[in-house]
Structure 1
Amino acid sequence: MRRLFGLILLLALALLGAWLWRVVVADPGYVQIALRGYSIETTLVVALLALFIGAVALWLLLGLLRFPFRFWRHRRTRVARECLAGGLVALHEGRWRRAESLLVRASRDPGHRLPALLGAARAAQARGDAAAAGELLASAAEHGDPVDAALLIARQHKQQGDAAAITALFDPLPVAALPPRALEIHLGALVDTGRAREAVLLLPALHASHVAEGPALQRQEARILSAALQQAGDEAELSRLWSSLSRGQKSDPQVVAAYARRAVALGQAEAGIAAVEKTLRRHWSPELVAIYGALPRSGRHSPLKMAEAWLVDHPQDPALLVTLGQLCRHEQIWGKAEAYLQQALAHGAGAEAWEELGHVHAAQHDDARARTAYARALAIQRGEPVSLLPGRSLREEIAGSAELESRSSMGVPLLPHEADPLP
């Protein structure tokens, strides 16, 4: 199809040329140029041809005159591009002085000035030269968007842990003007300065920025919501904020734990415990189970019975077994508490199980065993290996002495001789 179109176009041009030739042959026209006694006479066709040749010659002459300037400009751009690329690589490798030198050279080209100055300022910050970094950032602010320079300053404040300086930097700016990374840093600074409630209002902007997605976004959102709940000033504010959360946000263990702790602190223990229990019924979370054992006891029902009901579906969960041991200790059921904690250790529980076992022994005035349990908890926290017998791991030793609980299909605990034999 393209060949056919080209052929038709050539035929049309040939016909047009033939028609023009007939017109020119019939009347070639007449052009006369007279100046100071001189006269030039020619046909219109020759005059137009001479004018075209003169224009082409003038264009070539101007191009020849501009060639040195274009050569040096292209060379400067190429050198700046190479310096920018080398500087960014050096910045990635941690060669701060080389990166700063190359990026400063790259900033001489107007097309690369802003990114080069920002990179050079970052290199100066990394090597601890605050004065050089400040000068480079000031130059970057003059030649580009001041928000970009402010973002680099905010990153420096973040490394120094100065959240108040970050909020002072971004508070005067509209949220729409903040780039995604600046918005993320600003939200973190609001949380750290006790202004998490304001950060909650900016969560839609955080979602729209796409600076973080998936699990990373969920973690940031949970951190902001948890801080806002912890910073609630009274029961009404806590209740309003909790009611405004979506169902998915209310199922996050970190958020639920923050609500429960703040509710307990404000004298609303019943609401906090109910939120934890409701979440665990819908979404099982070992982290939330561990928190459940540390909440103050409610008069509605026995927390031990509630936790033992969860054991039907999660019989080998170390966090649940440790919580059961803790609840049994609160109710002074020493034997049962010790059995649960031994099962927890057999299933991989760590220092928290040994510490709780130490509390159980200490409550029974068994100081020797309590000291041993506390010592093992401390050793695990320090990363030291813990074993009871040479050549035998801690799990093997505990599993040999812990009797794992068996339950019927109705959830009723069975004695060892009543347990169904394995097929």
Structure 2
Amino acid sequence: MRKLLVLVLLALLLGVGVVALVETSPGYVLISYGAYTVETSLWVGIFLLVLLTVVLYGSVALLRKLLASQRSLAGWLGSRKARQAAQLTNRGLISFIEGNWARARQQLLRAAQGSEAPLLNYLMAARASFQLGEPERMREYLSAAERSDAEADIAVDLTQAELKLKARQFEQAVATLERARSNAGKHPYVLKLLRNAYFGLSDWPQLRQLLPELRKYRVVPDAELEELERTVHTHLLHATADHGGDGDAPKRLHHYWQGLSAAQRRDPALLHTYTGLLIHEGDHEGAATVIRKALKQGWDSDLARLFGYVELPDPRRQLAQGEAWLAEHPQDPELLLCLGRLACRQQLWGKAREYFESSNRQRRSPETFAELGRLLTAMGEDKAAAAAFRKGLLLREKSLPRLPLPEPAQR
């Protein structure tokens, strides 16, 4: 309160001083412009100048406020439109997930008109058109998506490739994906789609070329990649054997086999395929070498079974080799089946029968019963042969329904 009183007194004293100064020395101001002149005292001129300054400042401040209000209104309207577009996009995505393709497309396209980033809307509208079986509109929205964002070419290509894969248009999918493959490090999903496309085309050579990139960028889990490698090399081994028909299949197979990694050459499935093809192409010595080497590294019943298909110049020595394995694996049904076949080549009919029957005691199989039935037929034991064939047939046909059957005839 005391400070306020002091300020009032100072203001009064200042006012009295100004009035006294004006009365004592009013001053003189003359403004002349062309034929016009304005005369006034100095103090009135100062007052008018200050008043003009205040008016100009106020006018500028008011104008700035009006412009700011207009921008604020425009921003509010824009944000409101963006919120509405986002809500409509959200409803469109929900409709898409629910399978309401037509409604989803309609909502997504309406939202795209008010969205600052309509790329997602157009891509999802293209997917909805695909589900509705409208490829022309699908392409239209993919083009709109590409125009909406200069950096959307990869996203558009991936979407287009996915839709072509779903339509089983594998060649068109490959053509689309090859454009996006140049930067696989940034877009590893391209490699996964390429794998699906090549697999759909059964293009095993291209898949083989793709395998290193799939492993480098860890596009698929290791177990899935190993299975893919196994499938690719299995088909390529068959293709290598079938190519040409010039009698050089064993040489080509050997060359292909040596091109595989050590781990792949130890893979049981690939070993079985390779050995079986060598036998089929007549390279029995090569097949025997592969089997012996593999069985030294680890026992494999299926390879032992394949040894029974190998025809070596010295069948007696071959049988002795098999019986040496039997000492370490006396209950292996596949090895017993193999020995039965080797004994047949030596015309040791009794031993062959014993091996076949021993194999069936370890594990009954249609193949072993068929071999036993064939041998018994040749030995003149028709009833025993018929019984073996019947047992083998019933083992093979496990899907027969339970039916009432007539009682056996009384003798």
Band of TM-score, shorter chain: 0.5 to 0.7
Q: How does 1:124-203 map to 2 (within 5 A)?
A: 132=133, 134-135=135-136, 137-139=138-140, 141-142=142-143, 143=145, 145-157=156-168, 166-167=170-171, 170=174, 173=178, 176=182, 179-189=190-200, 192=202, 196-203=204-211
- Kindly tell me the number of residue pairs found equivalent between the two proteins: 320
| 8 Å Cα contact 1:101/1:120 also seen in 2 | yes
* Aligned match for 1:85, one of 97, 104, 113: 97
Q: CA deviation at 1:42?
A: 7.6
User: Is residue 318 of structure 1 aligned with residue 333 of structure 2?
Assistant: yes
2:54 match: secondary structure: strand
Output one character per residue of 1:82-120: Cα deviation in whole Å (capped at 9) or x when no partner.
Answer: 223323xxxxxxxxxx4x445534652434346535644
SS at match of 1:284: coil
d(CA) in 2 for partners of 1:287 and 1:339?
20
Do 2:373 and 2:388's aligned partners in 1 also have CA atoms closer than 8 Å?
yes
Deviation per CA, 1:366-421, whole angstroms, max 9, x where unpaired? 222222222222222221589xxxxxxxxxxxxxxxxxxxxxxxxxxxxxxxxxxx
Q: Distance in 2 between matches of 1:171 and 1:314?
A: 54
What is the SS of the residue equivalent to 2:299?
coil
Deviation at 1:323, TM superposition (A): 2.6
Tell me how large the CA RMSD over aligned residues is.
3.8
Q: How far apart are residue 189 of structure 1 and its match?
A: 4.7
Q: Distance in 2 between matches of 1:117 and 1:62?
A: 29
Counterparts in 2 of 1:135 and 1:297: CA distance versus 1, 3 Å: farther
On the 8 A contact 1:223/1:254 being kept in 2, the answer is no
Task: Name the SS of the counterpart of 1:66 in structure 2.
Answer: helix
Contact 1:103 1:120 in 2 (8 A): yes
Q: Write out per-residue CA displacement over residues 177-220 of structure 1, whole angstroms, 9 at most, x where no aligned residue.
A: 68233222244356x46xx4444333212323534333332222
8 Å contact 1:83–1:105 — kept in the other structure?
no
User: What's the CA shift string for 1:345-371, capped at 9, x where partnerless?
Assistant: 333343223223223323323222222
Aligned to 2:105: 104
The C-alpha deviation readout for 1:104-147, integer Å capped at 9, x for no partner, is 346524343465356446645xxxxxxx2533553464335335
Cα distance in 2 for partners of 1:294, 1:140 equals: 61
Alignment of 1:6-405 (within 5 A): 39-41=52-54, 57-66=69-78, 68-87=80-99, 98=100, 100-101=101-102, 103-105=104-106, 107-108=108-109, 109=112, 110-113=118-121, 116-117=124-125, 119-120=127-128, 123=131, 132=133, 134-135=135-136, 137-139=138-140, 141-142=142-143, 143=145, 145-157=156-168, 166-167=170-171, 170=174, 173=178, 176=182, 179-189=190-200, 192=202, 196-232=204-240, 233=243, 234=248, 235-297=250-312, 299=314, 302-384=317-399
* Distance of 1:314 and 1:292 partners within structure 2: 15
What amino acid is aligned across from residue 149 of structure 1 in structure 2?
A: Q
Larger CA Rg, structure 1 vs 2: 2
* Distance (Å, rounded) in 2 between the aligned partners of 1:222 and 1:80: 43
Question: How far did 1:41 drift?
Answer: 0.8
Q: Can you give the 5+ residue segments of structure 2 that lack an aligned partner in the other structure?
A: 1-50, 113-117, 146-154, 402-411
TM-score normalised by the chain length of structure 2: 0.64
Structure 1 unaligned blocks of 5 or more: 1-37, 88-97, 125-131, 158-164, 387-423
Identity %: 21
> Quick one: distance in 1 between partners of 2:63 and 2:382?
112
Q: Would the aligned equivalents of 2:192 and 2:220 in 1 still touch at CA under 8 Å? A: no
Q: Give the equivalent residue in structure 2 for 1:400.
A: none
Instruction: Check conservation: 1:260, 1:269, Cα contact below 8 A.
Output: no
